[in-house]
Structure 1
Amino acid sequence: MNYKKGRYSSLIKPLFSFIDLVIINMAVFYFEINLKNIYVFCLYISISWILIAVKNHFYEVHRHTRLIQITPLLFRQIIFFTIALYAFIGFFKQPNISRLALGEYLILVFILITIFKFLTTYLLKKYRTVLRGNIRRVIVIGDNEKVRQLIKTFNTRLDYGYKFEAKFSVKDESFSLEYCFDYIIENNIDEIYFSVSELSNKQINTLIDFADNNLRELKFIPDNKEIYSKKLKYEYYDYIPILSIRAIPLQEPVNKFVKRLFDILFSICIIVFVLSWLTPILAILIKLESKGPVFFKQSRNGFNYKEFDCYKFRSMTPNKHAHLAQATKGDLRITKMGAFIRKTSIDELPQFFNVLFGDMSVVGPRPHMVSHTNMYAQRIDKFMVRHFVKPGITGLAQISGFRGEIETDKDIINRVKYDIFYIENWSLLLDLKIAFQTLTNAVKGEEKAY
């Protein structure tokens, strides 16, 4: 039995939490908060900070964590810390505390903690990339496309701090787990990755026993059966472990409220400041070019597969195929004005009324015509997962190059992959990023916007 050597990595989280505690305590002395006992206050805020951080997983920032994932942690930490801070007034019956000074203290703490959090994350990434420090040595067992993609990530994303040492192919006649174990011990390997589809249950159990007995981290690569899920939800029913195929953040009441609030505020701003003056202008131009209504209404499937009327500015001459056939390149049904508003995505703006009414969201999987939804639901695996959340005016798939006409099944398969990734990894910052990228793409114009 050979145990791996310890690393200084284990000291990073305690060190960062200690520095944060120093910041929130030292900042107290810069303000006239009018406290009866400053040391009781410091003890209170220190305990509160740690308890909130544990619940919030504030220090669970891993080497593969993206910066966009850190920002929600910061906001949640500060929001709950603010609540705890003002609760101190009533809990310890100190009505003479200066609320203004307390607010100024919170602003300073938020700024300092944010700077420290991002700075340390950046410096750690540079430390791994440039100096090759904080490295974890890894091996991979298996040989398939996902294994090769993972190895490429290890070799290209140096900021992750992984050093790929070897790949062991199960298909080789000379392959044996015993040889892998000897290599792991002799080369002081930290983490073992294996393809779950290439090993038998007996081999997996042997691998687990070895990792447990030798204190190595073991991680598996899912099989290639087109399971697009990124996250598995792990729960206990009494003492029985249960795995759910996916966790959906927008099923949480707080997240649902935040997204709905964002949708309402964003849609009101667009309706008041853009559609209020743009609609009359477009109405005149659309009417001058062709007869028919200004708005086009089409039934589409939304949340929980429920049908709703989706609104757009009319971009085609009225035709009997409008609800059945998708627009194609060079489509003769599209008017000159229609070509312009489609190219710039202006034709989608009336959907902000759908957002305000609650049928849609600003960001989410794009809704399809009912006839297309029924067709793809039968042909494309996991297609119906898109209906776990409200459809959006724009989405991750659209800014990733999968908008407009669906020419082959590959287009819709890729769209579904991006949609499922969005559903499982939703955050308000991701919504903002997608909305900003959509605006940028609309200004530049997109190849498939026709």
Structure 2
Amino acid sequence: MNTQTGFKAEDSGSGFLNRFFDIASISVALYISLKLQDQVTTTNYIVLLLMVLVAYLYTAESLQLYRSWRVNRLSTSIWLIATCLFVAFSSMLVLTWAFKVTADFSRLVVGGWGCLAFCQLTIWRLCGRLIKNALHKKGISTRRVAIVGCTENAERLINEINQHPEMGLVFCGIYDDRTADRVFSCSEQLLGKVEDCVDAARRGTIDKLYLTLPMSADKRIADIIQRLGDTTVDVHLVPDFLLSNLMHARFGSVGNVETLSVFESPYFGARDWLKRSFDIVVSSIALMILAVPMLLISLAIKLTSRGPVFFKQDRYGLDGKPIKVYKFRSMSVQENGAKVVQATKGDSRITPLGGFLRRTSLDELPQFINVLKGDMSVVGPRPHAVAHNEEYRKLVAFYMLRHKVKPGITGWAQINGWRGETDSLEKMEKRVEFDLAYIKNWSLWWDAKIVFLTFFRGFTGKNVY
């Protein structure tokens, strides 16, 4: 008999219910609004409803409204709901205006619909949270949690459990074979040794058990898991430094062989489509708005210095494949070889106009064409010259993982001040650290946040020459 085991992500099923209640709330809100205005539900209003639902769910998925349900503050959820509704109704209004059918719908109905939808979406979440908290206080729908391994990860896990009572987890204590003077600072919560933990699990006094031992103790972990196989406790491994630094680690399979990705792009499945659609929309709007300023900059470059308007530099794109990145020419030279000298303060190669363009990042505007072509993204790690890539990939750990995503016009490192000249290895290491943090934690909401913050932090910098 062939048995197959597989890794499965934990799923409480709440994601489906949350989506269902949201769809129902928005639909009921439209029905009530129509009734309040003595109007009937026509085919036009049903089409309108479908438009709003599609836009709302698309935005909700992009902002990870459902993924973070269990540990989000209610205020954060309400803010995300308002954002999703604003995008959904704005999209609907733009489409009805574009097709010249706005006169077919009542403004009072649409306005009332939006207000009622927001109220209902908020109320059902508030009621759900109140009910869940009340049940947890009575000890209903809670899970008793213990930890094996008094480590730094254990302390982090305890803090998360204490800060989020809505998860319904009740912390019982820690088990470790080491003495109190040899363990981490959470030693005061020690209940006993691992054997005591196994006995507690057999008695059924623990529902969930988290192993926070370092992955280097693989034999010990395997032994504990084997001993716990004689119990009904849920066992979870908490990644230590090694696994917690994996990039979008997820389980997959090749036939019947289970695999764990170590380094992988965050844009898998529908995420790739979400990212690309965001890039197309933002870059198209940007090019339409910036068409005249870009034309004036091109004319100014031609009038103030010799040479082409655009500078095409070889850079590494997605998966380290070479791409041509467009910039307004800001120097009297066009270095693009095996050795490229970074611009420094008072650099004689920079033209008078080029200095202004570089300090304000206006020289980067043509890269919206790269985004539209698909070579770059609006948000991502800034692309470095090929010569700099070849230099720093040997000096900075995990440097080339920046290329698991497309390079961006702006990025998390840039708005945090790590842009411009990297005259020390520490500066490049810091830039890579922020780039990898972006890739590891990517979401479409984070992209929108970075674009917004770029207007306040990303155009200038003390190291930009």
Q: Which category describes the TM-score, using the shorter chain as reference length? A: 0.5 to 0.7
Supply the distance in 1 between the matched residues of 2:379 and 2:428 (Cα, whole angstroms): 18
Q: Deviation string for 1:179-226 (max 9, x for gaps)? A: 44568889867552413425343444424753882434x332324348
The 5 A counterparts of 1:41-440 are 61-64=68-71, 111=118, 114-116=121-123, 139-142=146-149, 146=153, 166=173, 172=179, 176-181=193-198, 190-197=208-215, 199-207=217-225, 210=228, 213-216=231-234, 218-225=235-242, 228-246=245-263, 248-252=265-269, 254-281=270-297, 283-284=299-300, 288=304, 292-318=307-333, 324-328=340-344, 331=347, 333-334=349-350, 337-440=353-456
Deviates more, 1:241-250 or 1:152-161: 152-161
Distance in 1 between the 2:163 and 2:312 partners?
48
Q: Label 1:373 to 1:188 Cα distance change in 2 as closer, same or farther (>3 A).
A: same
Deviation at 1:159, TM superposition (A): 7.9
Structure 2 CA distance for partners of 1:406 and 1:344, relative to 1, 3 Å? same
AA partner of residue 324 (structure 2) = D
Deviations 1:323-375 (A, max 9, x none): 61223456554455444433332221121122223221111222111112222
For residues 325 and 13 of structure 2, what CA distance do their matches in structure 1 show?
Answer: 54
In structure 1, C-alpha distance between the alignment counterparts of 2:347 and 2:150, rounded to whole Å = 46
1:23 to 25, 34, 42: 25
Q: Normalising by structure 1, what TM-score?
A: 0.66
Q: Distance in 1 between matches of 2:210 and 2:223?
A: 14
In the aligned structure 2, how far is the partner of 1:259 from the partner of 1:370?
A: 25
Structure 1 residues 239 and 205: CA distance shift in structure 2, 3 A:
farther
SS state at 1:327 partner: coil
Q: Is the 8 A contact 1:230 1:421 kept in 2?
A: no
CA distance in 2, matches of 1:212, 1:18: 39
How much has 1:177 moved relative to structure 2?
0.9
Task: Give the corresponding residue for 1:92.
Answer: none
Q: Is the 8 A contact 1:364 1:394 kept in 2?
A: yes
Alignment size in residue pairs: 401
Report SS of the residue matched to 1:264.
Answer: helix
Task: Work out the CA distance in 1 between the residues paired with 2:145 and 2:416.
Answer: 31
Q: 2: distance between equivalents of 1:267 and 1:376?
A: 30
Deviations 1:120-159 (A, max 9, x none): 799799999xxxx998765544466655555565667788
8 A contact 1:136–1:191 mirrored in 2: no
Q: Distance in 2 between matches of 1:34 and 1:406?
A: 62
SS of equivalent to 1:378: coil
Aligned CA RMSD, in angstroms, stands at 5.3
Q: Percent identity?
A: 31
Residue identity matched to 2:212: F
When structure 1 is superposed on structure 2, of 114-123 and 230-239 the one drifting more is 114-123
8 Å Cα contact 1:126/1:159 also seen in 2: yes
Q: Residues 363 and 435 of structure 1 are in contact (CA less than 8 Å); yes or no, is this contact kept in structure 2?
A: yes
Q: Distance in 2 between matches of 1:314 and 1:199?
A: 55
Equivalent pair of 1:63/1:161 in contact (CA under 8 Å): no
User: What letter matches 1:297 in structure 2?
Assistant: K
- Whichever residue aligns with residue 434 of structure 1, its letter is I
CA distance in structure 2 between the partners assigned to 1:100 and 1:115 by the alignment:
26
Structure 1 distance, partners of 2:276, 2:152, is: 39
Distance in 2 between residues matched to 1:136 and 1:327, nearest whole Å: 58
Distance 1:283 1:270 in 2: 19
Q: Which ranges of structure 2 fall in alignment gaps of 5 or more residues?
A: 1-11, 35-39, 93-103, 184-191
- Give the stretch that moved more between structures: 230-239 or 313-322: 313-322
1:24 to partner: Cα distance: 5.9
1:391 is displaced (CA, Å) by: 1.3
Q: Distance in 2 between matches of 1:120 and 1:447?
A: 50
Partner of 1:88: none
Cα distance change, pair 167–376 in 1 and its aligned pair in 2 (3 A)? farther
Distance in structure 2 (CA, Å) of the matches to 1:314 and 1:331: 15
Deviation sequence 1:81-129 (CA, Å, 0-9, x none):
x9xxxxxxxxxxxxxxxx979x96996886456545775799799999x
Structure 1 window deviating more from structure 2 (367-376 vs 409-418): it is 409-418
Q: Secondary structure of the equivalent of 2:267?
A: helix
CA separation of 1:120/1:341 partners in 2, compared to 1, >3 Å: closer, same or farther? farther
Unaligned runs of 5+ in 1: 1-9, 36-40, 83-98
Q: Tell whether the 8 Å contact from 1:376 to 1:383 is kept in structure 2 after alignment.
A: yes
Per-residue deviation at 1:439? 1.7
